[in-house]
């Protein structure tokens, strides 16, 4: 039986790494998935986080240091978007306008990953989603 692998949406990554705004069940589940090497993050999530910090919508004093520390102290696999994935994200139906989310959807599809998200629009696409309440 093949085990599910998970791609964090940006908000899920921030919640998990900062241990905020999520339940103890969420933390326990994804800590276990991390130990098993089943968690993925897209490089674009760090870009989105840096933009949110720049706009004062998220408080991380040094995004670069936070990113390095996160990748060094977890088993997260880092995905780099390809040109093919970027182009494919523009070809999705127009349900979602956020280019970051559209690219995460395509990366989840291309790599057979389940997208960890609370976004209510994403399930309108042909992509597996998961959230632990």
Q: What is the mean pLDDT of residues 54-80?
A: 97
Q: What are the structural domains of the chain? A: 6-130 (3.40.50.1010)
DSSP the chain: -PPP-EEE-HHHHHHHHHT-SS-HHHHHHHHHHHHTT-EEEEHHHHHHHHHHHHTTSS--S-HHHHHHHHHHSS-PEEE---HHHHHHHHTS-TT---HHHHHHHHHHHHTT-EEE---SSGGGSS--EE---
pLDDT (tens digit per residue) in 27-65: 999 999 999 999 999 999 999 999 999 999 999 999 999
For tokens 């057979």, the residue is: 112
pLDDT at 54: 97
Do the bridges between strand 114-116 and strand 39-42 make them parallel or antiparallel, or are there none, so unpaired? unpaired
pLDDT at 2: 81
């Amino acid at each position: 039986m093949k085990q599910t692998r998970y791609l964090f949406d940006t908000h899920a990554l921030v919640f998990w790494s900062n241990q905020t705004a999520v339940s103890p069940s969420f933390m326990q589940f994804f800590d276990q998935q991390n130990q098993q090497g089943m968690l993925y993050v897209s490089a674009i999530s760090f870009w989105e986080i840096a933009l949110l910090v720049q706009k004062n919508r998220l408080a991380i004093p040094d995004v670069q240091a936070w990113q390095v520390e996160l990748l060094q102290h977890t088993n997260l696999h880092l995905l780099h978007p390809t040109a093919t994935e970027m182009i494919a994200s523009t070809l999705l139906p127009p349900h979602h306008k956020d280019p970051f989310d559209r690219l995460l959807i395509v990366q989840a599809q291309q790599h057979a990953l389940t997208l960890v998200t609370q976004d209510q629009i994403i399930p309108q696409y042909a992509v597996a989603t998961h959230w632990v309440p």
